[in-house]
A = this chain, B = another copy of it.
Amino acid sequence: MATRTDAPTRREQILKEAARLFAERGFHGVGVDEIGAAVGISGPGLYRHFAGKDAMLAELLVGISGQLLTGGKRRVAEEDGDPGALLDSLIEGHIDFALDDRDLITLHDRELDRLRDSDRKLVRQLQRQYVELWVAALREVYPGLVEQEARMAVHAVFGLLNSTPHLGRTSSLPGRGATARMLHKLARGAFAAAAAPVSPDGSPE
């Protein structure tokens, strides 16, 4: 049970830099020499730590999906009976992740196809479980939602929350706290609308 202060091992440094570079220029857009240079060693030295470039990507993507799922499960386990609070907790966790590890979020839905079949299957399975967590939580709050609707809403809200990488180009963000609060509001609003039975705002069509 030691994940913190075990020293940022070389492996971890590499993964972190690789994530940043992959997110910036895409998996194929980054050479191993670059990744090596980013951690002070150069080129093939990476092969002392990873089987290959693919292995780095795989470990990153599996790691992301795993972390998201683990965090989600923890929050579900901590539920105290208030479904709304659980949904808020899930949203908050996802926002934290999207804001803190925006590189990984970017990778997550950009480079999945580059994985070996088995790895991709694993990642997809973790993703699916994570989605189902949300779907269950959402339907707890809005029992009127049928499963398919709920799933679609969850996917859409993921898209909303994961939009943070696209910000920052346009204008400097209004501070992390305010950003998080705004995203939370937006997500909640979308969910509420999903559950509204008919004509969401007044326009009959």
- Chain A residues at the B interface, C-beta cutoff of 8 Å: 24-29, 84-85, 88, 109-111, 113-114, 124, 128, 131, 148-149, 151-153, 155-163, 166-167, 169-171, 173-174, 179, 182-194, 196, 200-203
Copies in the complex: 2
Given contacts A84-B203, A203-B88, contact A190 B160 (CB under 8 A): yes
On chain B, the residues within 8 Å of A182 by CB distance are 149, 152-153, 156, 194
> Smallest CB–CB gap between A84 and chain B, Å?
7
Smallest Cβ-Cβ distance to A160: which chain B residue: B160
On chain B, the residues within 8 Å of A192 by CB distance are 189, 193, 201
Would you list the 10 A-B pairs with minimal beta carbon distance, nearest first?
A: A189-B193, A159-B163, A28-B28, A160-B160, A190-B190, A185-B200, A186-B190, A159-B159, A189-B189, A156-B160
